[in-house]
Amino acid sequence: MAAAPRVVRRPAGDPDSLPATLHPVLRRIYAARGVQAGELALELKQLLPPDGLKGLPQAAELLADAIAAGRRIVIAGDYDADGATGCALGVLGLRALGASAVDYVVPDRFRMGYGLSPELVDVAVAAGAQLLVTVDNGIASLAGVRHAREQGLSVIVTDHHLPGAELPAADAIVNPNQPGCTFASKALAGVGVMFYLLLGLRAELRRRGMLAVEPNLAQWLDLVALGTVADVARLDANNRVLVEQGLRRLRAGRARPGLLALLEVAGRPPAHLGAGDLGFVLGPRLNAAGRLDDMRAGIDCLLADSIEAARPLARELDRLNRERRTLTGQMADEAGFLLEDSTAIGVCVFEPGWHEGIVGLVASRLKERLHRPVIAFARGQEPGLLKGSARSIAGLNVRDALAAVDARHPGLIPRFGGHAMAAGLNLAEVDYPRFAAAFDAVCAECLSPAELEQRIDSDGPLAARELGLDTARQLELAGPWGAGFPEPQFSGEFQVASLKLMGSEQQHVRYRLLGEGAELEAVDFGGGERARAPGCRVLAVYQLGVNRWNGRESVQLLIRHLEDV
């Protein structure tokens, strides 16, 4: 469907605006990403103050009143890694700040769906809730908030998703993306909003003289880092501080026992963790609980007070993640077959037997493969209802696209929500063909030919003197890299000296490459189908990594794209 990608050199930027003491490769990388000299240290003092978050003072006052009165606070979480880390952070932080009765509830995605539904409110009421605090949800939960207020609960909504035309009638709303909020970073994840709520609450308790001992909220930045990266939040300067500080705790072994247990079952030592490990090692294992079972297992793992208590939960999460990988591969293969002859710009795909907890991963894989906005659907628990998960490409705000479909076809989409790059929706199965055509039409109008062209951004070539272990180590410790702040990848021409196929199905390739005056080891994970024979000249786009084996370190190219020269 999509044409072959085109390798494009990133604009160079101005390296001279950055310190001359910085590694020369890092100077080029940071300059190309518009980093200012004052953004390099990534210390906590660089965090934006919480003052600009609309609704934070009111929320802090409500929480302080509840703590003073000994009221029972219940956090309404979500079933993804952002919601789970935010929920655990809220429980831990409120307890440390003096709340005597804190509990949490999390929706069953298969029975209740996303957000603060009236059914989830009833669960919170049964748990004795007097003050309900949402995390990573609630901005679209009009009925749920209304039901909670009718039950006599006070409600604080903390969220980061884009609001609809009507806001919920909560006692306080903290969301950097709500109308009138002047907070400079709109990229906070749900867990980041919860962290700022705790900062505001601590300040309010300090003002009231209610803190005998002030907890150091930075002790939970490992949770903030994980939720931020796993939710693919844009790593603006503020989020980079949060993620970097969390990574430092993880690397030092001072993280939550549950995270250390998850790293243990994954066989990943914490000393050299990067942001990519949060997204591809920890995040999927935590998400697996919400996708296939009950996210309580994930939250309880994060709340565990010792690694001994966390290990059984971590092992269960690891088992669920292996099951999730198998299902994702099967469903993605089926989706590829269904779309073999598709010419759609906005892609919709549905198979009756698919698992509703996996469709978001299928949409993500297809989006990467096709370079098109994709919505994957599965049947929900309610007869006749589909649940869809959307993933988008640069140039299309997928939530806005769903809003456009909704405006043109009133009543077609019973419920939708999300943000620019990811969204979810419900749909009557009989309306699937009509919706698919409407979504395709909106995407075709919104996306230009240039935006539909798949590009691979490159930071250019590395000279022979730069293709060494020192540069690889510098890149590993730099960043953190992620959404909106992409990990450096370079390009260059090489000759294939030798190759070796690896893996049970020979799906991976290990190369010896000749180029830039050096002989280099490279690995192409999943690149078996595009393997190049010895003697071929290729243009490779690669990341420079450190290969650690038996206590030794060597430089290794991680191939991301290959084409013949």
CATH of the domain at 89: 3.90.1640.30
Predicted local confidence at residue 259, as pLDDT? 98
Instruction: Please give the backbone phi and psi of residue 337, each rounded to the nearest 5 degrees, phi first.
Output: -65, -40
Question: How many angstroms separate the CA atoms of 377 and 348, rounded?
Answer: 8
The answer to whether residue 209 is domain-embedded is yes
Question: How many angstroms separate the CA atoms of 381 and 61, rounded?
Answer: 40
One domain, residues 313 and 359: no
Q: Taking 80 as the threshold, does the pLDDT of residue 106 lie above it?
A: yes
Q: Taking 60 as the threshold, does the pLDDT of residue 533 lie above it?
A: yes
Put simply, whether the predicted model's pTM sits higher than 0.75 gets the answer: yes
What is the number of structural domains in the chain? Answer: 3
One domain, residues 414 and 527: no
Q: What is the pLDDT of residues 534-548, one digit of tens each?
A: 999 999 999 999 998
Question: Mean per-residue pLDDT for 475-504?
Answer: 94
Helices 190-208 and 237-251 sit at what angle, rounded to 10 degrees?
A: 90
Q: What is the pLDDT of residues 330-379, one digit of tens each?
A: 999 999 999 988 999 999 999 999 999 999 999 999 999 999 999 999 99
Question: How many angstroms separate the CA atoms of 417 and 402, rounded?
Answer: 8
One domain, residues 157 and 267: yes
Long-range contacts of 116-119 (CB under 8 A, 24+ apart): 116/76, 116/141, 116/144, 116/145, 116/148, 116/157, 117/141, 117/143, 117/144, 118/143, 118/144, 118/147
One domain, residues 423 and 516: no
Q: What is the pLDDT of residues 367-423, one digit of tens each?
A: 999 999 999 999 988 899 999 999 999 899 999 999 999 999 999 999 898 888 899
- How would residue 549 be classed by pLDDT, with cut points 50, 70 and 90? confident
Q: Among candidates 490, 483, 560, 485, which has minimal Cα distance to 524?
A: 560
One domain, residues 420 and 366: yes
Q: Among candidates 389, 393, 413, which has minimal Cα distance to 114?
A: 389
One domain, residues 375 and 307: no
Q: Among candidates 152, 233, 230, which has minimal Cα distance to 187?
A: 233
Question: Mean per-residue pLDDT for 11-35?
Answer: 93
First to last CA, the chain: 23
Q: Taking 70 as the threshold, does the pLDDT of residue 1 lie above it?
A: no
Please report the beta strands in 285-350, taking only residues with DSSP state E, as ranges in sequence order: 347-350
Distances (CA, A) of 150 to 75, 142, 292, 487, 509: 18, 12, 33, 48, 61
Q: Among candidates 380, 378, 371, which has minimal Cα distance to 347?
A: 371
One domain, residues 177 and 271: yes
The answer to whether residue 25 is domain-embedded is no
Q: Taking 70 as the threshold, does the pLDDT of residue 3 lie above it?
A: no
Q: Taking 80 as the threshold, does the pLDDT of residue 219 lie above it?
A: yes
Q: What is the pLDDT of residues 136-186, one digit of tens each?
A: 999 999 999 999 999 999 999 999 998 988 999 999 999 999 999 999 999
One domain, residues 180 and 206: yes
One domain, residues 198 and 265: yes
Per the structure, the complete domain to which residue 279 belongs is given by 48-317
Average pLDDT, the chain: 94
